[in-house]
Structure 1
Amino acid sequence: MNLISLDIRMLRSLISVVDTGSITETARRLGRTQPAITLQLQRLEELAGTQLFRHDGRRFALTPEGDLVVNYGKSILRLHDELLSRLSAPEIEGHVVLGTPDLYAAYMLPSILGVFKKAFPRIQVQLRCALSTPLVDLVQRGEVDIALVTRMNDFTGGLVVRQEQLVWIGGEGSSAHHENPVPLALLPPGNIYRDHAIAGLDAAGHKWRIACVSESVSGLQAAVFSGMAVSVLGRSAVVPRMRELDVFPPLPKVDLLLYKAPGTTSRAALALHDYLAHYLGLEHEEPAPLGGPSLQHQPVRTRPAGAYGADGDF
């Protein structure tokens, strides 16, 4: 049996392409060019000695061998990143203020921050919950070290770390979505969740009224649980007693941006920034203990080596 050595960067590129469905997005996240990512995938197929991608009608998918490489690759990356965290963590200490809307604080960050605390026991994280627009101002003024926010139309800068699918939600047993006009529970004006909800209903000719305005996700949930309104939230915030509704126009995904205060040199802040960028970029599955993500393969549209599009997108 011929022994081969797989470059960790090839595995990271492969997994990112599978998770994002895009060579363009993978190149942006990893700081490489699209041709470089394509060459890595082709080289990985050469080293593996088998085809990792196959045609599936008009689409492309992982072959069984490709799926095997992805699953093992995730375990390899988890152990690799865990080792680096364990080696570097003990000497980093400090205090970091992390700002984020309560939506993400409650449903997206707990498992990641729990793993971060184990990997960096000497770093103290102070969580500050607020809406995205004021948080961007705070991080630009240096009052918040790191901010995870929803991209609004006028935002500039920041690192796109993942996308969140917006969904219509109603309470179990609620008939609010059948009312005319539709009662809505929304965030305050200027929020993109609200903008997409209203634009979608207007485009489809649905009449609507505002039944609840809340800066907190708990207020929106209360309106949904009670059956007084429907709302729009990210899919990660759908909890028991809620259900997704398919009677309204489909909603887009929104970008989540990660900001750090200008001129930040704190090793503690940089460690948290890099940690969040890494794990949120891996599509937010439950991280494994002591610093590694435990991810499940998500079917994606892919292309075999040699058949990648010029724009690099899947």
Structure 2
Amino acid sequence: MSFISYLLNGISLGSVYAIIALGYTMVYGIAKMLNFAHGDVIMIGCYIVFTMMTTMGLNPIVSILAAIVGCTVLGVVIEKIAYKPLRKASPLAVLITAIGVSYFLQNLALIIFGADTKSFTSVVNMEPLRLAGGKLVISGVTIVTVIACIVIVLALMTFIKKTKAGQAMLAVSEDKDAAQLMGVNVNKTISLTFAIGSGLAAIAGVLLCSAYPTLSPYTGSMPGIKAFTAAVFGGIGSVPGAFIGGILLGVIEILGRAYVSSQLSDAIVFAVLILVLLIKPTGILGKPIHEKV
């Protein structure tokens, strides 16, 4: 049963990566920008939940809703202040700005909350599911995380395909100038994309800290990098690709940690990414980009 347990843990961790990766893939697919401060938005969301539950004594649902609202607003502010002026700038300028925003959020958290690692209280109170006569135990956090990921991916795909705002996102992702000529508000659409991605980051952060109950100003850094890897792995710009890439990455990491080396698990994850990109540079579901001349 140990392999199945590891596999389920990998799917659970991969579900968190997938939710985070959705933020990366949406922003890149629509704004053609890489928001490397995305991982730190996760951390801010976790601190909001931690503060409201521990200091203010509020229930988990209210705390999570507050974190989603807080991170959504933060995402829009970051886009307006940091990224909007750089839409026609070089990728290097965008990268430097993203790193600057990331360090700003980390240092802001250090000033407000301190450098000490906090013990995060899980927001999931579901009893574990016991199968095979109690030999296989699936934690409540694992169940909720996997279900939440599936629901979010399906809801997001439905939103993009069936709503006017979603169609506007598709239009902007194809051609900003043409979309603007067709009456699409490009600025509003990009802001909405950042808002959705940041709101999802709050959910992912809460699920991550519920499974691994520690919180510090650097909590979101490595998960953010791995989620970006998952987005590239699955094909950045593709919502199903982010889901597949996240799940595969989580499974590879957990199995690598269990059967190869816990110290080398991160190296194994990035090695697999390099191998995939050598074979299929656009990722699993990514499409080649044809430059117009």
Give the TM-score category using the shorter length. Answer: under 0.3
Q: More strand by proportion, 1 or 2? A: 1
Q: More helix by proportion, 1 or 2? A: 2
Q: TM-score, normalised by structure 2?
A: 0.23
Higher relative contact order, structure no. (Cα contacts within 8 Å, ≥ 6 residues apart) = 2
Q: TM-score, normalised by structure 1?
A: 0.22
